[in-house]
């Protein structure tokens, strides 16, 4: 039996010259599943994504593998230098397939349902990041993000392109961007201990409830190792509850074991994983 990809519709253009297309996975011309390929431009290069991969029960027998490999060939033909797949945490078979095809985990999403507003340790509080502080704060955040992107397997040009695109999108109006909370953690003397970047109502859950997103938690170097990272996460939960948001999510790079351990200790659980590999 021959397994092939066949277009299910016209190729769709995306902003910036990107492209996406839905494909059917066929056995001897008969549809048994499907997937989507997407190519997005980053720093003059193309970045591929494979999504919506599914093969119907009773027709699997390696067809998902063939479909994924065929999708990689499509993305190579579109000029993509890398490819990512995002796998829901409950999709154990899809995760095994990704590993078998040579994908390695770059990052994971975690989330928590919020119930009770936390109390910050005595003598600590939050204040907004001022307009005067914002440029230096953003430079520091960008530097940390670049470091994490490079550690996740991206080249220097790829990391800089993604950083520019991401910050340009989510902080389009700087500290005045709607739904953005930029905060400093300070002690009783007003010393800055760390900072928090939180997006409120950034996404919507399947049940219609809003999901906030932790973008950055950063503790000043001179004050690390004293539990302030935990305090900043508690502060983020308090900001969410004050805004009527009861679900908080975050992204963490898989190499950051210290951060993952912190989030797990606070009750955050993995919801999906992003894995990638180069397309040589």
Which residues, in sequence order, are CB contacts of 275 under 8 Å at separation 6+?
84, 85, 86, 87, 95, 98, 99, 103, 104, 105, 106
Beta strands in the chain (DSSP E): 3-7, 12-14, 18-27, 30-42, 45-55, 80-88, 104-113, 125-128, 180-186, 192-204, 210-219, 247-253, 269-278
Distance, in Å, from the CA atom of 93 to the CA atom of 261, rounded to the nearest integer, reads 25
Distance, in Å, from the CA atom of 99 to the CA atom of 135, rounded to the nearest integer, reads 40
pLDDT on residue 127: 95
Q: Residues 195, 201, 206, 207: what is their CA dihedral angle, to the nearest 10 degrees? A: 110
H or E, element range at 235: helix 228-242
pLDDT tens for 36-58 read: 999 998 766 789 999 999 999 88
The mean pLDDT value for 263-276 works out to: 95
pLDDT tens for 87-102 read: 999 999 999 999 999 9
DSSP lists the bridge partners of residue 109 as: 251, 272
* Angle of the 228-242 helix axis to the 257-265 helix axis, nearest 10: 50
CA 154 to chain CA centroid, nearest Å:
14
pLDDT on residue 202: 59
pLDDT tens for 156-208 read: 887 777 777 777 677 878 888 888 899 999 999 999 999 999 998 756 666 55
DSSP lists the bridge partners of residue 243 as: none
* Percent of the chain scoring above 70 in pLDDT: 94
pLDDT at 274 over 90: yes
The mean pLDDT value for 201-218 works out to: 75
Tell me if the domain spanning 112-274 has CATH number 3.40.630.30.
Answer: yes
pLDDT on residue 166: 74
Tell me if 68 sits within 8 A of 102, measured CB to CB: no
pLDDT at 60 over 90: no
- Tell me which of 9-13, 40-44, 138-142, 219-223 is least confident: 40-44
Q: Identify the band that residue 104 occupies on the pLDDT scale cut at 50, 70 and 90.
A: very high
pLDDT on residue 226: 93
Instruction: Burial-class residue 130 by CB neighbours within 10 Å (0-12, 13-18, 19+).
Output: exposed
- Class assignment of domain 3-102? alpha beta
pLDDT on residue 179: 86
**φ and ψ of 215, to 5 deg:** -90, -45
One fold for both 3-102 and 112-274? yes
> Where exactly are the structural domains of the chain?
3-102, 112-274
- Strands 210-219 and 247-253 turn out to be parallel
pLDDT tens for 65-79 read: 999 999 999 999 999
Q: Identify the band that residue 146 occupies on the pLDDT scale cut at 50, 70 and 90.
A: confident
The candidate with the shortest Cα–Cα distance to 50, out of 11, 23, 10, 90, is 23
């Amino acid at each position: 039996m021959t397994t092939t990809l066949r277009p299910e519709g016209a190729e769709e253009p995306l902003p910036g010259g990107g492209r996406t297309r839905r494909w059917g996975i066929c056995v001897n011309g008969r549809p048994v599943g499907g997937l989507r390929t997407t190519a997005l431009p980053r720093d003059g290069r193309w970045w591929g994504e494979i999504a919506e991969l599914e093969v119907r029960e009773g027709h699997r027998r390696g067809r998902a593998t063939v479909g994924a490999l065929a999708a990689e060939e499509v993305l190579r033909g579109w000029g993509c230098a890398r490819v990512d797949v995002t796998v829901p945490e409950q999709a154990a078979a899809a995760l095994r397939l990704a590993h078998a095809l040579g994908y390695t985990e770059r990052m994971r999403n975690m989330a928590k349902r919020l119930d009770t507003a936390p109390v910050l340790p005595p003598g600590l509080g939050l204040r907004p990041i001022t307009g005067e502080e914002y440029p230096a704060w953003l430079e520091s955040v960008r530097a940390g993000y670049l470091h994490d992107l490079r550690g996740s397997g991206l080249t220097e040009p790829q990391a800089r392109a993604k950083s520019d695109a991401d910050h340009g999108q989510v902080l389009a109006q700087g500290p005045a961007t709607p739904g953005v909370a930029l905060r400093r953690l300070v002690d009783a003397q007003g010393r800055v201990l760390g900072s928090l970047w939180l997006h409120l109502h950034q996404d919507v859950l399947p049940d219609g409830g809003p999901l906030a997103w932790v973008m950055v938690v950063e503790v000043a170097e001179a004050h690390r190792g004293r539990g302030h990272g935990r305090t900043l996460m508690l502060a983020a939960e308090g900001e969410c509850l004050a805004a009527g948001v009861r679900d908080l999510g975050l992204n963490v790079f898989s190499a950051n074991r210290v951060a993952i351990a912190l989030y797990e200790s606070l009750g955050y659980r993995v919801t999906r994983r992003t894995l990638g590999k180069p397309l040589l």
